[in-house]
A = this chain, B = another copy of it.
Amino acid sequence: MVRRDGADGAAGAARSSVWERPEPAARPAPSPLSRERIVAAAVELADADGLEAVSLRKVGAALDAGPMRLYRYLSTKEELLDLMADAVHGEIAAPDPDAPDAGAPDADPGGTDGDWRAVLRASAHRTRRAALRHPWFADLLGGRPGLGPNALGNREAVLAALYGAPGFLGIDAVLRAVGTVDDYLVGALRRETAELRAERDTGLDKDAWRRSEGPYLSRVLAAGNYPALAAAVRYGAHTDPATAFEAGLDVVLDGIAAGLAPGG
């Protein structure tokens, strides 16, 4: 067991995390490798063929390197996944090119009543767009605590924006609001990208999916054991994912508003 902690190795049990272990200095010539390049290659692989296609061998091969070479920059595959997740958090932080500008969280003009709503909504939408760009991201989201600099930075930006928003009486209210939105976000994105992937895997379009999984569902519902479910499928409005997401988000935001405005 060779630990490459470097200088900051404290007492034996305290393993330092990727986030503060410095990237090893770039070797002069034969080293076109860096954490950033590794993560980029891994992200590309995951985007193309899913998270399960990310193996140290394949990532290494994409960089003309053997799998062992990566262990200079990571000490475990889990760290690679953490870095990938934080890379996406970095995209979330950056102003989003392919979307209407809903307002940056750090730019808080500090005026109208609905500010906190706009902040939370914009953050949620940016996260959703990133999750749709990288369908594997949602699977990583709740899996382990996100402690990378970009994740922390996003959290910081939202918190800072909400501290100043009118109507919020204290830290605890802010934390509760952010936490609830976050939990909703994780669940909703996970479900949405899971459905998206199921469609993409079984066939290519939604019709193919309906032909593959649909018959089973139809048979089950036709059997009559789930009348309420059958009614939901038959008579429910099948809203598209974007508006469904928005609707759920509105529910959560309404709930926050109800909690902090006793008088209405």
Contact = CB atoms under 8 A, between A and B. Distances in A.
Given A216-B20, A258-B255, A144 B194 contact: yes
Interface in A175-193: 175-177, 179-180, 182-188, 190-191
A211 B15 CA distance: 10
Contacts of A15: 212
Interface residues of A, number: 74
A19 interface: yes
A18 to B, nearest CB: 10
Contact of A195 (B145, B217, B256): B145
A254 to B, nearest CB: 4
A16 B144 CA distance: 34
A255 B171 CA distance: 21
A48 B143 CA distance: 19
Interface in A1-52: 10, 13-17, 19-20
A17 to B, nearest CB: 5
A180 B249 CA distance: 8
A79 interface: no
A244 B180 CA distance: 9
Interface in A146-161: 147, 152-153, 155-156, 159-160
A191 B183 contact: yes
A53 interface: no
A13 B212 contact: yes
B244 A179 contact: yes
A227 B10 CA distance: 26
Interface of A: 10, 13-17, 19-20, 138-139, 141-145, 147, 152-153, 155-156, 159-160, 163, 171-172, 174-177, 179-180, 182-188, 190-191, 194-195, 198, 211-213, 215-217, 219-220, 225-229, 231-232, 235-237, 244, 247-248, 250-259
25 contacts: A14-B211, A20-B216, A144-B194, A145-B195, A155-B226, A156-B227, A159-B232, A160-B227, A160-B228, A171-B231, A174-B232, A177-B251, A180-B247, A182-B187, A182-B191, A183-B188, A187-B190, A190-B190, A251-B252, A252-B255, A253-B255, A254-B255, A254-B258, A254-B259, A255-B256
